[in-house]
Structure 1
Amino acid sequence: MKQAGSILIVDDNPDILIAVQLLLKQHYQTVITTNNPFDIEQILNEQKIEVILLDMNFNHDAISGQEGFYWLKKILAQDPSIVVVLMTAYGDIQLAVDAIKAGAADFVAKPWKNEQLLASITAAFSHAKDKQQLGKLTRQTQGLNQALSGQKFEFLGKSSAMQRVFDTIEKAAKTDANILITGESGTGKELAAHAIHLASHRSDQAFISLDMGSVSQNLFESELFGHKKGAFTDAKNDRVGRFELANNGSIFLDELGNLPLKQQAALLAALQNRQVTPVGSSKAINVNIRIICATNENLAQAVQEGRFRQDLLYRINTVEIRLPPLRDRLDDIPLLAQYYLEHFSHKYKRVVSITPDDMKALCQYHWPGNVRELAHVIERAVILSDSDILDVCAVVGLDKVEFEGTNNALGGRLLTINEDDAVVNNSEVKNDDDFNLDRVEQRTVRAALKHHQGNVTKAAKALGLTRGAMYRRLEKYDL
C-alpha cells in the first residue's frame, strides 16, 4: 500500500530520474521529477511538496557540490517545512557534514542501494511530518500568546515601592536567572511575570502560564510534561506539555506553594536537567525555558514545616521579587483607579468618572484583595452605575464610609466593619481601633460569606480572590 506523501526528484541525468521514480512510486502516492533546478520554485508554488531529493551537481564535470548547496538554500528559504535529501556521485564525509550543517536532512551517495535510499526517504517523510506539526504548534502557541497578551492589564505604579520592583525586574529580566515572585493574593504577580518576559531576550517567544493550585495531582506530569496516546485511560491523543510549549520562551508557575511534595520532586528534576519526558514515552525532550514562579505562601516557613523542598526553593529563587500590598503603595491608587476606569468604560461602552471624594475613599480603604479587588470594584461600578458618576461606596456595599477617623471622605452617614457584618451603623462599632490585618481580613471574609449566603465562589469573587486562596483563608480562620 502506497503511503501518503509527495516527493520531488531533481537531477540532470534522465536515467537517474527514471530509476528513482520507478522505485519510489511503488511506495509513495506522488512522485514528481524535473531535470532543471530552475523549475523548483514553480513546482513548489503549484503544489505541496514534503520531501525533495536533490542532486548536488548540474553542470558538466562539476564535483564541488556548490550548486546543490545553492538550491538547498533557495528551497528552505521558500518553504522551511520541506525536508531535503542531497545526493551526488562524489560522496565524501566532509561534503556530507557540510550538507547537514546547511540544512539537509540526509546525504545519499551514488550509486545507491535501494534499501538505503528507501530508508533515507522514509526518515525524511517522518521528519517532514514532525516539522509540520511543530510549525502548526508554534503558530497556535504564538496566536494564543498574542491573544492572552492582548487581554493583559498593564503593570503600573509610580510609588517608591513599585519603582524598586521595576528596577529589580529591569536587572533580572536581562538574564536567564530563575525568578520567584512573592506577595499577597491580588498584588499582580502574573502581570509582573509577563513584564519580566517582555523585558527579556525571549520576548518574541511564548509566555506560558499555569496555576499549580488548579492542576490535579493525577494529571500533573501530563499537564507539565505532556503524554503519549494510550499512556493512560483518557489519553486518546498525544499531548504537548506546558514545558515544551514554552520552549525558548518563558513559563510562569503560579501558586507554587500548593504543589504536593511528590510533584515538587518531578518539577525539580525537570528544572535541573532542562529535560522533560512525556508520560508513556521513554524519550526525553530538551527544553530551553525561563522559569518564573509565584506564591503568596511563606516558602521558607513551608520548608521548616516539611511542606516544601529546600532544594526546589534554592532552584527557583535565584532572584526574589516581592510585590507590595496595595495598602503599602497608596500613591498608586489614583493611577490604577483611572486606568481601570478607562479600561472598563471602553469595554462596556460607558462614559463615567470618579469624584475627588470617592477617589479619596478609594485611597483610604485597606484593600484586602489588593489590586485585583480594586479592578473588580471599578468594573462593578462601571456596570452598575446609573449615571456618569460612579458610586463607589454602593458598589463595595457601603452607603457612606468613614476611613481612619475622618468624616469628610464622602460627607454622609458613617458606617464601619464589625465581626458580624461587613457594614453596620457606627453606633454599633466594636474595636474601631483594631488594625490587626489578620483580624481585619477575617472580618471581611466572614462578611463576604454572609452577604453571599455562604456561596464561596461568589464571596471569593467579591473579595478578588481565587477559589484556592479563599479556601486557604476559610481554613486559616476556621470559617
Structure 2
Amino acid sequence: MKLQRRGLVLDGSGVIFAELEALGLAGWAFQMVSTIDAALKALSRDPAIIGLVAFDSPHAWPAAELDQLLARPDVEWIALLEEGLLRGERLSPEVLRNFHDFHSLPLDRARLGCTLGHAHGKAALLRSEVGQCSDLGAYGMTGSSPKMRQLYRQIDKVITVDAPVLIGGESGSGKELVARAIHRYSARAHGPFIAMNCGAISPGLIHSELFGYERGAFTGASQRKVGNVEAASGGVLFLDEIGDLPLEMQASLLRALQDRTITRVGSTERLHVDVRVIAATHVDLARAVSDGRFREDLFYRLNVVRLKVPALRERVEDLPALAQQVFEECRGKGAQARGFSSAAMNAMMAHSWPGNVRELRNRVQHALVMSDNRLLTPADLGLVEVVGSVDSTLGERRTAVERELIEASLKKCRNNVSATARQLGVSRVTLYRMIDRLKIVL
C-alpha cells in the first residue's frame, strides 16, 4: 500500500477544506484546524511538511501570529485564496514572501496536484540536506540532538501537571522559549503568560511590579496598577533570573505562592490568585542557598520540577538547522545573502557560543544587514575562519578560535571588559569566566 502524504489545512470556516476533501486527491490525507494556535499544536505533535492556509479576506489571520506559523523551517506553505485577493496591497507581498506557492480558487484538481507535489518534493529535499527525515524539533524549538530530545521528553511530562517549574541554563540558551512552550501546550494555554525579569528591575520597584498598588499608595501613584502575579492569574507567571530577586522580596513571593493570595501596596484587601510559576536562572540556586543569597524554603517551593536547557556548544549538531532557521527569520527584503558559505558554517561549528542562541541570532542579523556577499563568510559573522592542521580536534580548534576572537575584541576595546562583553554579546561575568579559563592576560 502506498504511503499517504500528509497536509495540514488552516481554514477558519471549513468551506475550502470541504472543497479540498471533495477533490479526493489520491495519495494525500489532510487534517483541518481552524486556528493558528491549533495549527502550531498539531505540527508539534505530528509534524506535516505541507501546510495550506485558506484566505477568505486579506485580514483573515493576524499578521504576527501567521508569521510565527510560517516561520517554521520544516513546512512548505501554500496559500489558497480568491484570485482578487492577490491584487490587494497587504496580501500580495505576504504571499510572495512567505509561501512556497499559491492556488487561486476555485480548486482545480490537476493544478493543485502539481503544486502539492512540487512543494512536497522541495520539503523532502530540504529535510535531507539537514540530515533529518521528519523531525527538526518540537514545541516550537529547533534541534534533534540527544540533549534536545531529552528536553522534549521532559516537557512532554511537565505540560500534563500544574506544578512549579525551575528552568536552568546559560544566558541566551532559550529558557523563556521553554517556559512559553510549557504554557502554550498545557491546560493553562488560554490563560495569560506574564514574563518578568527579576534582574532588570530596581529593588525599590520589584514589590510594586509583583503585587501592584492602589491609587495614592505613594507619590506618583496616580492610578491603580495590577501587579504581575495578579495579571497572570489563570495562566503562567515566568520569573526570569529568579536568583537576582532580593532576599526581602523572596519572603513576600513565598508567602504569595503558599497562600495563593496577594495584597496590593496601599490596600488591605487580600486577593485570591491562581497562577503557575515558572522560574528561570543561569546561576546555581543550591549554591546560592548555601551562601545565604537565596531562601531555602523558596528554592524548594520553586524546584518541584527541574529542567535544564543545554548550551549551544553542547548540541553543536543542531547548529546547521538552527542557523538556517535564524537566517530565514532575520533575512529582510534588502539582504543580499542567500545562505552560509562552507567556511562560515565551519567557523560556526568551531565557535563555542558563549552567548548561545542569542549570540547566534545577533551575529546572523548583523551579517545580513552589513554583508554584500551572496553567501555569508566568517568575517561577516565576526568569526575567525577555521584553519590549521586537520589532525587537531574540534575542541582544540574551538579553543583557538575563541581565544583569538576574545583577544582581538579586547584589543579593539582597549581591554575594556564591559565594552568587549557587549561586542561579543555575552555578560561581563561570562566573559571574565572565559578569560580565566583561557588564561588570557589583561
The TM-score bracket by the shorter chain reads 0.5 to 0.7
Q: How has the CA–CA distance of structure 1 residues 355 and 451 changed in structure 2, closer, same or farther, with 3 Å as cutoff? A: same
Q: How has the CA–CA distance of structure 1 residues 165 and 259 changed in structure 2, closer, same or farther, with 3 Å as cutoff? A: same
**Other-structure match for 2:220:** 234
Paired residue secondary structure (2:141): coil
CA distance in 2, matches of 1:194, 1:282: 33
**Other-structure match for 1:194:** 180
CA distance in 2, matches of 1:249, 1:275: 15
**Other-structure match for 1:357:** 343
Does residue 422 of structure 2 align to residue 464 of structure 1?
no
Q: In the alignment, is the contact (CA less than 8 A) between 1:186 and 1:373 conserved in 2?
A: yes
Q: What's the offset of the Cα at 1:147?
A: 11
Paired residue secondary structure (1:294): strand
Q: How has the CA–CA distance of structure 1 residues 330 and 283 changed in structure 2, closer, same or farther, with 3 Å as cutoff? A: same
Q: What TM-score, normalized to structure 2?
A: 0.62
Q: What's the offset of the Cα at 1:309?
A: 0.7
Q: In the alignment, is the contact (CA less than 8 A) between 1:212 and 1:258 conserved in 2?
A: yes
The aligned amino acid for 1:464 is G
Q: How has the CA–CA distance of structure 1 residues 451 and 208 changed in structure 2, closer, same or farther, with 3 Å as cutoff? A: farther
CA distance in 2, matches of 1:293, 1:404: 45
**Other-structure match for 1:184:** 170
Paired residue secondary structure (1:395): coil
Match of 2:211 among 225, 229, 242: 225
RMSD (CA atoms): 3.4
**Other-structure match for 2:193:** 207
Q: How has the CA–CA distance of structure 1 residues 453 and 245 changed in structure 2, closer, same or farther, with 3 Å as cutoff? A: farther
Residue identity (%)? 39
Q: How has the CA–CA distance of structure 1 residues 475 and 418 changed in structure 2, closer, same or farther, with 3 Å as cutoff? A: closer
**Other-structure match for 2:31:** none
Does residue 206 of structure 2 align to residue 243 of structure 1?
no
Q: What's the offset of the Cα at 1:367?
A: 1.1
CA distance in 2, matches of 1:404, 1:245: 57
The aligned amino acid for 1:215 is I
Q: How has the CA–CA distance of structure 1 residues 259 and 477 changed in structure 2, closer, same or farther, with 3 Å as cutoff? A: farther
For 1:72-471, what aligned pairs fall within 5 Å after superposition?
154-346=140-332, 349-398=335-384, 400-402=385-387, 416=400, 422-423=404-405, 444=406, 448-453=409-414, 459-465=420-426, 469-470=427-428
Structure 1 residues without counterparts, runs of 5 or longer: 1-142, 424-443
CA distance in 2, matches of 1:219, 1:147: 36
CA distance in 2, matches of 1:148, 1:314: 39
Q: In the alignment, is the contact (CA less than 8 A) between 1:203 and 1:249 conserved in 2?
A: yes
Q: What's the offset of the Cα at 1:363?
A: 1.4
Number of residues of Structure 1 aligned to a counterpart in Structure 2: 305
CA distance in 1, matches of 2:389, 2:145: 21
Q: What's the offset of the Cα at 1:357?
A: 3.1
CA distance in 1, matches of 2:388, 2:144: 23
Q: What's the offset of the Cα at 1:324?
A: 1.1
Paired residue secondary structure (2:292): coil
The aligned amino acid for 1:178 is P
Paired residue secondary structure (2:166): strand
CA distance in 2, matches of 1:150, 1:237: 38
Q: In the alignment, is the contact (CA less than 8 A) between 1:401 and 1:416 conserved in 2?
A: no
The aligned amino acid for 1:275 is T
Q: How has the CA–CA distance of structure 1 residues 389 and 327 changed in structure 2, closer, same or farther, with 3 Å as cutoff? A: same
Q: What's the offset of the Cα at 1:150?
A: 8.7
Q: What's the offset of the Cα at 1:246?
A: 0.9
Structure 2 residues without counterparts, runs of 5 or longer: 1-61, 73-139, 437-441
Q: In the alignment, is the contact (CA less than 8 A) between 1:365 and 1:403 conserved in 2?
A: no
Q: What's the offset of the Cα at 1:315?
A: 0.5
CA distance in 2, matches of 1:294, 1:219: 20
Q: What's the offset of the Cα at 1:323?
A: 0.9
Q: How has the CA–CA distance of structure 1 residues 272 and 404 changed in structure 2, closer, same or farther, with 3 Å as cutoff? A: farther
Q: In the alignment, is the contact (CA less than 8 A) between 2:192 and 2:236 conserved in 1?
A: yes
The aligned amino acid for 1:265 is A
In our comparison, the structure showing a higher alpha carbon Rg is 1
CA distance in 2, matches of 1:214, 1:148: 29
The Cα offsets for residues 115-139 of structure 1, whole Å up to 9 and x where unpaired, read as: xxxxxxxxxxxxxxxxxxxxxxxxx
